[in-house]
Copies of this chain bind each other. A is one copy, B any other.
Amino acid sequence: MNRTQPKPGWKSKIHEIIYEADTPAGKFFDVALLIVIAISIILVMLESVSTLNLKFYWHFYIAEWIITIIFTIEYILRVIAIKRPKNYIFSFYGIVDLLSTLPTYLSLILGGHNLLFAVRALRLLRVFRILKITRYIGESNRLLLALRNSRPKIIVFLFAVLIICVIMGTVMHLVEGEKGGFDNIPLSIYWAIVTLTTVGFGDIHPVTPLGRFIASFIMIVGYGIIAVPTGIVTSEITRAQKKPIPTNTQVCPHCNEAKHMDDAEFCHNCGKKLNEE
């Protein structure tokens, strides 16, 4: 790091602030953005409560516009700061960021409400971006690693659960008919899932003795096989706990690639310098 370096341009400074969380300014930006996102989500929630929406309509309207403008500025900065804007614009987060601002502008032209409201809820997805600043990043990486390793087993398990639910749902439809609300097979499969996962809403439930007997069987199976995913994940987590995990938050200014080693100086994806200052 004790090399002579050219002065960093304002673009790379902005890049460091909004794409990374290594510097104080970068951390501050991320925390501030997290708060704005949280506020925007809470606003969307409260706006959906009709009594509140009638009472505070204008408050919501103004707050909505302030947040949209903040998000618009952030989006423009993100496009400017990166070397290859296309990498950002067409990435998952780029599209989510754009969809966080567009609905409010569109409401000026279209005036329509309900569908735009739905799109606005997409802002929630922005939360995932901020997860990287949590001080538990090493832990969440470890968890994700354990989950990723146990994914094939979990998929096999969930597939088996689905087949059991389809078979049991069909059987219950034939046994219970329309007395207990098992009107058709899809509805009966829905009931089987509700039962096997031990949720048990109770909106549909068997009323015939045979139906109850089969339901008891499904419940005991569900109670028994919940052990399987647990066993899978436990053995993976026990294994994952033994390995060290990199916790670097740097992002390559050229290709937007994350997950660099702690002492990396060049991007492992595009080969260019990481700290081009």
Contact = CB atoms under 8 A, between A and B. Distances in A.
Interface residues of A, number: 82
B228 A185 contact: no
Nearest to A53: B184
Contact of A124 (B45, B117, B170, B229): B170
Given A124-B163, A163-B127, A227-B229, A194 B219 contact: yes
A161 B202 CA distance: 22
Interface in A197-249: 197-203, 205, 209, 212-213, 215-216, 219-220, 222-224, 226-238, 241
B143 A157 contact: yes
A173 B230 CA distance: 31
A128 to B, nearest CB: 7
Contact of A237 (B184, B190, B231): B231
Given A152-B136, A153-B143, A158-B220, A44 B198 contact: no
Interface of A: 41, 44-46, 48-50, 117-118, 121, 124-125, 127-128, 134, 136, 139-140, 142-143, 146-147, 152-159, 161-163, 166-167, 170-171, 173-174, 183-187, 189-190, 193-203, 205, 209, 212-213, 215-216, 219-220, 222-224, 226-238, 241
A125 B238 CA distance: 35
Contacts of A174: 117-118, 121
Contact of A139 (B153, B223, B230, B235): B153
A171 B117 CA distance: 11
Nearest to A211: B190
A235 B228 CA distance: 11
Contacts of A185: 44-45, 48-49, 121
